[in-house]
């Protein structure tokens, strides 16, 4: 059995229900298709502490989150598509805070 963790962007909290990630996990579609028939267990569904004008005042809390995730000993950490941001010139880039966490 593979132990899976999903990381998402705090900014997405305004509009995201987590349904797309959960559907992909439960149906083993998208990034989860790689596991085939292997059983999966979702260990955590967590978010970063934000960036820019969207963040918790307690940024150090991310270290505690990371320690807790590491203690879970997941086989994989999947990162939601919500971590992608479109720049003013139309490029799609990964959030720098998420890159730091990863």
What is the pLDDT at residue 57?
61
For the chain, helix, strand, coil in percent to 5 are 40, 30, 30
pLDDT at 58: 59
The whole-model pTM stands at: 0.84
What pLDDT is recorded for position 43?
A: 97
The region that residue 41 occupies, defined by phi over 0 for left and psi between -120 and 50 for alpha, beta otherwise, is beta
Task: State how far the Cα of 102 lies from the Cα of 99, in Å rounded to an integer.
Answer: 5
Residues of the chain where predicted confidence (pLDDT) is lower than 70: 52-59
Query: Hey, how many other C-beta atoms are within 10 angstroms of the C-beta on 40?
Result: 16
């Amino acid at each position: 059995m593979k132990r899976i963790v999903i990381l998402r962007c705090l900014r997405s909290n305004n509009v995201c229900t987590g349904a797309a990630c959960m559907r992909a996990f439960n149906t083993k579609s998208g990034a989860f298709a790689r596991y085939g028939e292997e059983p999966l267990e979702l260990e955590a569904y967590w978010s970063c502490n934000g960036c820019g004008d969207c963040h918790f005042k307690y940024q150090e809390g991310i270290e505690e989150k990371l320690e807790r995730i590491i203690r879970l000993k997941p086989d994989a950490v999947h990162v939601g598509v919500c971590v992608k941001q479109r720049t003013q010139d139309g490029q799609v880039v990964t959030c720098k805070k998420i890159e730091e966490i990863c």
